[in-house]
């Protein structure tokens, strides 16, 4: 009975995560296709006004136009965060490279990535879980670690794909932050794909998140 209850719990959890991802996809599409296109239209209209406006208004119109362009990029960035198009189109490795590059650009932190070129095939939900754990881990580095840099690594050994996200910051308080920074959600994602998540202090300084995902299992 306990085994059956655990299977049902995992099935329910996977359904909840799937529903969450569908909603993320819908919001990302609406942000990109509706709000993003509307703001792009505003930018184009401002360009036209700038050509027709008297010289004394050019500086003001330019400022408004630059603000609108920044809003367009912000909307696109939010949409990418909600649903990583690179993961669907180009696969996990390319999506993680895009994630690391985007995080470095936004945060100003140095982000190195070491991603094995020949990784075994994983189920789509496993790829998504790895991506989300990497995303949440980098977000935590930016918000809490007070770090100068981070490392994103992905490789495979002995039938297990291993994601590592480490930083050189102040290090996590393992007792005070058991459920902080989205760790509970990351652990739940790991459990639902048959994986294992470990978070701890890194020597000599910093924090390391390790996600291990067995190849060939979805349970």
pLDDT along the chain (219 residues), means of 10: 65 69 72 78 84 85 86 78 78 93 91 92 90 93 92 94 95 64 83 90 90 78
How far is it, in rounded angstroms, from Cα 104 to Cα 85?
19
Burial class (CB in 10 A: 0-12, 13-18, 19+), 152: buried
Q: What is the pLDDT, as a whole number, of residue 114?
A: 95
Q: What is the pLDDT, as a whole number, of residue 192?
A: 84
How far is it, in rounded angstroms, from Cα 190 to Cα 218?
11
Q: What is the pLDDT, as a whole number, of residue 108?
A: 92
Give the pLDDT confidence of 150-185 residue by residue, as tens digits. Answer: 999 999 998 999 999 999 999 887 655 555 557 888
How far is it, in rounded angstroms, from Cα 172 to Cα 174?
6
Q: What is the pLDDT, as a whole number, of residue 2?
A: 65
Dihedral Cα 128, 112, 115, 75, nearest 10 deg: 30
Q: pTM (2 decimals)?
A: 0.72
């Amino acid at each position: 009975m306990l085994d059956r209850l655990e299977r049902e719990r995992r099935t329910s959890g996977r359904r909840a995560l799937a529903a969450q991802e569908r909603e993320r996809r819908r919001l990302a599409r609406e942000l990109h296709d509706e709000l993003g296109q509307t703001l792009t239209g505003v930018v184009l209209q401002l360009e036209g006004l700038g050509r027709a406006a008297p010289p004394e208004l050019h500086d003001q119109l330019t400022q408004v136009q630059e603000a609108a362009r920044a809003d367009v990029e912000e909307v696109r960035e939010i949409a990418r965060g909600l649903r990583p198009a690179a993961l669907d189109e180009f696969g996990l490795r390319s999506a993680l490279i895009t994630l690391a590059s985007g995080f470095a650009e936004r945060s100003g932190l140095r982000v190195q990535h070491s991603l094995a070129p020949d990784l075994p095939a994983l189920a789509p939900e496993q790829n998504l879980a790895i991506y989300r754990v990497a995303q949440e881990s980098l977000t935590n580095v930016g918000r809490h670690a007070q770090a100068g840099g981070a490392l994103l690594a992905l490789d495979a050994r002995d039938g297990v794909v291993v994601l590592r996200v480490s930083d050189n910051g102040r290090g996590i308080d393992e007792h005070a932050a058991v459920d902080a920074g989205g760790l509970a959600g990351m652990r739940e994602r790991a459990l639902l794909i048959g994986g294992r998540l470990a978070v701890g202090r890194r020597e000599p300084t910093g924090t390391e998140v390790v996600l291990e995902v067995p190849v060939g299992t979805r349970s």
